[in-house]
Structure 1
């Protein structure tokens, strides 16, 4: 079964210096029925105004993936370490007790736009504290995985994150590892269907909960950029 969640149904925030859309409960937006999905805790799209910054904060035991869509960001921890990531890159920050991260939009005239995911981390697993990946010009790229396969970001969880970049009319079928997945359109429209159900239609910013499907087929109706988060646990 595939259940759509439109962009209009998501939580919204507009603080002037920060605009955001929240898939799950986050900050001031609270829905007790939407506290996350399997090990996916947070899926936000946020826009920071030129020069704006998020003050350092600590996080629960999660792997944070920032997919930069526009602009350039700098992340700095309380040990003085810093790393930059620009449009076309993804950055993983492995949160630990006592470590805080701040974020700065480095441009004086360009907004910083990014997708942010939080994935619960297994306490028995370890990975590098900061990882960076460059997106390739291809229709499908494994963005993150439990073992860093194919040069992907290495997660502390049984999750596979796929980045999709499809041309109009292009179709792609991906197998799923377990009973749950989440599909997020970053921009563009598509149809999505499993083996035994009618296609569901998504437009820009829409998402979809995928239940009990062994594979998912996407067909782009416009130029499509999307994330598929495979959540078997």
Structure 2
């Protein structure tokens, strides 16, 4: 079964310095029909104004992923990490027993555009951890890249969650197919447009796939997406 989550139906909040779209309930946005999907709890598409950002704040018992689309983000946390994340890289933070971090847009002129993702962990109270890595999504199009997995295979980050994350950038008139390992999926379109069967999906759209053995994603004009494999 496939369930479309159109970009225009997401929750929205504009705080001036921060313009956010929420695929699932978050902060002041509450919709009991959209509380998450399987282990996937949050997909926020954030636009952060120049020289602004999130001051130091706490998290615990959550797997947090950050995927930058435009601009850069300066990250600092209580594990001692102090890094700058740019497009082409993925950030993974295990909040575990508790961590505080800040995320700031270092540019005086450029808006930061990113996807912030939270996954519910399958174990709690573990030591916090921070890591980031450059993946070849942009430089090696037309194939699925494993970014995070349950077992850290193929150079991916290990998630303490019943979830895996893949991403792909498609050139025009190309497609990729994924056979689900954990049984369910969620597709989030980052740029451009892709199709799944007869369903055309554009940037910001999401598609929940329940009980599907596989999914084929194609693009007539080019697109980029994240694909979650979920138990």
* Shared fold, TM over 0.5: yes
Offset, 1:124? 6.4
TM-score after normalising by structure 1: 0.92
Q: Distance in 2 between matches of 1:31 and 1:60?
A: 23
Report runs of 4+ in structure 1 exceeding 6 Å deviation: none
Match of 1:191 in 2: 195
**What is the SS of the residue equivalent to 1:107?**
coil
Match of 1:61 in 2: 61
Gaps of 5+ in 1: 194-198
Match of 1:30 in 2: 30
Q: Distance in 2 between matches of 1:3 and 1:96?
A: 31
Gaps of 5+ in 2: none
Match of 1:212 in 2: 211
CA deviation vs aligned residue, 1:4-44 (integer Å, no higher than 9, x gap): 11100101111110011100001111101211111101011
CA deviation vs aligned residue, 1:24-82 (integer Å, no higher than 9, x gap): 00111110121111110101110110000202211231110001111111111246542
Offset, 1:129? 0.6
Match of 2:221 in 1: 222
Match of 2:74 in 1: 74
Q: Distance in 2 between matches of 1:155 and 1:226?
A: 19
Match of 1:149 in 2: 153
Q: Distance in 1 between matches of 2:219 and 2:85?
A: 28
**What is the SS of the residue equivalent to 1:121?**
coil
**What is the SS of the residue equivalent to 1:8?**
helix
Q: Distance in 2 between matches of 1:149 and 1:158?
A: 15
Offset, 1:96? 2.6
Q: Distance in 1 between matches of 2:126 and 2:224?
A: 30
**What is the SS of the residue equivalent to 1:216?**
strand
Match of 2:177 in 1: 173
Q: Distance in 2 between matches of 1:38 and 1:49?
A: 32
Match of 1:196 in 2: none
Offset, 1:179? 3.3
Q: Distance in 1 between matches of 2:54 and 2:73?
A: 11
Contact 2:79 2:130 in 1 (8 A): no
What is the total number of aligned residue pairs between the two structures? 227
Offset, 1:156? 0.6
Offset, 1:146? 0.8
TM-score after normalising by structure 2: 0.92
Which moved further from structure 2: 119-128 or 206-215? 119-128
Evaluate the alpha carbon distance shift between residue 134 and residue 128 of structure 1 in structure 2; reply closer, same or farther with a 3 A threshold: farther
Evaluate the alpha carbon distance shift between residue 221 and residue 127 of structure 1 in structure 2; reply closer, same or farther with a 3 A threshold: farther
